[in-house]
Structure 1
Amino acid sequence: MSTFTLKGHGVPVTLVDGLSEEQLLSFQPFRSWVSALTKSLALQARNAQHPFHRDPYALRSIRIQAYDRFGGGRLGFVKLAANVSNAAGESLPGAVFLRGPSVAMLVILVPEEEDAKAAEPERYVLMTVQPRVAAGSLAFAELPAGMVDDESGNFAGAAAREIQEELGLEIPARELTCLSELAGQRDGTKREEGEEGLEAEGLPRAVFPSPGGSDEYIPIYLHERRVPRAQLGEWTGRLTGLRDEGEKITLKLVRMDDLWREGARDAKCLAALALWHGLRKEGII
């Protein structure tokens, strides 16, 4: 093991064998996590109304416990323990699993034969069924999703790629609507930076499925299109995914009205459904 001091923070970082300082500092999820936590901690002193203003917490140290690599030796996941404590010696839970952002897609199909003027046309949603070993399942039903592998922050482009890989649909990124971003609007205008809540901390407009232990956040995108009714039956049971990368995906077509039940185990599915209903109620989509 070796230790280095995080530049600009004065925080000691203890590395695990096999992982270098350069490799850790080049890992975008680590840099993003440090930046977000630093900004949040700074709010304690600036805001007299902050619950920790009188005895603020600080990041004291970081200990890397484990890591995994993807193909080509690229760093994929990092597990660490952060010591975040105040002057009284009180500590916050600091077990962190870094994996970076993902994207999720709510793809809605409407039969072309439906009356376009109908108040509520019949809608269907494409789900994927695939093995999720971490959940102990070989047939986990969920919305299509995938990790954002590059550092460009092009979430729409990543969503478009995942749709093509998992659903076999080619959809230009410009035809995707980010429900998470739209949820940050109020009366048609974006909230001002500096407002209380997520904006004050600068967190991404996205779903955090497991904030108690992971940095992962998931912006949710929407695409709705009309298709011939006869084509709907072709989706269920179709095998998709990058088979050479271990993706064993089967598609499942679900009525929109049944999505809350069919996707009840999938946090991003329930979040997408809530965003869709809420944005429609507000007249934003």
Structure 2
Amino acid sequence: MFGRRVGFLKFKADMLEKETGTKLPGIVFARGPAVAVLIFLESGGETYVVLTEQARVPVGKSILELPAGMLDDERGDIVGTAVREVEEEIGITLNADAMVNLTALLDPATGQKVFPSPGGCDEELSLFLYRSPVKEEVIRALHGKEMGLRDHGELIKVRVIPYDKLWHVTADMKALSAIALYEMAKRDGLLPERNSHLST
């Protein structure tokens, strides 16, 4: 539990498809809403993206991922959760007012969320974009930095790579979805022009 909110739940549901009466697969892992942030750092004419690298037991290897986390406060504050997760996993403070909710650009019929594995899990993701100009020494200081909440079992290394290489070096669905949303929103002129500045 997260306070009074359910954190994790696994259950079996007996479900039938209404028109045909066919039984549907009903094992569900319920973990609820989560957030992830695509962070662009612009320096020396290059755009970099900030990632976490951590061992993931279910897949048996380390994965380069967007900083992310579950909506684990009782207020359901998705922007606040995104800012807090970046601070915990990367060690930088984002300006909440400058966060761009990429999933909010989806058609309302989608629920304006991304569902990573709807066949077995109810997890719904809100994906954010954050852009900030930085000096080159910020890039150098972040790359390789060790982060994470040790009491939560987090052993995280921060990685900073050029954005144009991101699609090629990650298997993280959050990152690949964020790239697709960002590129399509940019193509259609839906992104605000302003950048923000971060605190390190």
Q: What TM-score results when the alignment is normalised by the length of structure 1?
A: 0.62
SS in 1 for 2:130: strand
Aligned counterpart for 2:34 among listed residues 102, 112, 121: 102
Aligned counterpart for 1:165 among listed residues 88, 100, 112: 88
Match of 1:151 in 2: 74
1:27 Cα deviation after fit: 6.7
1:143 Cα deviation after fit: 0.8
1:240 Cα deviation after fit: 0.7
Match of 1:227 in 2: 134
Distance 2:118 2:4 in 1: 19
2:195 is the alignment partner of 1:280: no
Task: Write the letter of the residue equivalent to 1:174.
Answer: D
Superposed CA RMSD in Å reads: 1.9
2:6 is the alignment partner of 1:83: no
Distance 2:26 2:123 in 1: 15
User: Number of matched residues?
Assistant: 189
Distance 1:246 1:84 in 2: 36
* 8 Å Cα contact 2:35/2:68 also seen in 1: yes
Distance 1:100 1:27 in 2: 14
1:281 Cα deviation after fit: 0.2
**C-alpha deviations, 1:86-131, integer Å up to 9, x for none?**
47541122111001111000000001x43xxxxxxx2000010012
> Cα–Cα, structure 1 residues 277 and 222, in superposed 2: closer, same or farther, change >3 Å?
same
**C-alpha deviations, 1:142-196, integer Å up to 9, x for none?**
1110011023221000000001111111113212110110233xxxxxx6xxxxx
Distance 1:87 1:110 in 2: 53
> Cα–Cα, structure 1 residues 276 and 236, in superposed 2: closer, same or farther, change >3 Å?
same
**C-alpha deviations, 1:19-67, integer Å up to 9, x for none?**
xxxx9xx974xxxxxxxxxxxxxxxxxxxxxxxxxxxxxxxxxxxxxxx
Distance 1:87 1:244 in 2: 49
Q: Which runs of 5+ in 1 are unaligned?
A: 1-22, 29-74, 115-121, 185-190, 192-198
Moved over 6 A (4+): none
Distance 1:209 1:183 in 2: 15
**C-alpha deviations, 1:188-217, integer Å up to 9, x for none?**
xxx6xxxxxxx2xxx531111000000001
Query: How do residues 1-285 of structure 1 correspond to structure 2 at under 5 angstroms?
Result: 28=5, 76-85=7-16, 86=18, 89-111=21-43, 113-114=44-45, 122-137=46-61, 139-184=62-107, 199=109, 204-263=111-170, 265-285=171-191
1:141 Cα deviation after fit: 1.1
SS in 2 for 1:127: strand
**C-alpha deviations, 1:60-91, integer Å up to 9, x for none?**
xxxxxxxxxxxxxxx53211111111475411
1:267 Cα deviation after fit: 0.6
* 8 Å Cα contact 2:7/2:72 also seen in 1: no
Identity %: 39
Q: Which runs of 5+ in 2 are unaligned?
A: 192-200
Task: Write the letter of the residue equivalent to 1:243.
Answer: R
Q: What TM-score results when the alignment is normalised by the length of structure 2?
A: 0.88
* 8 Å Cα contact 2:4/2:74 also seen in 1: no
Task: Write the letter of the residue equivalent to 2:142.
Answer: W
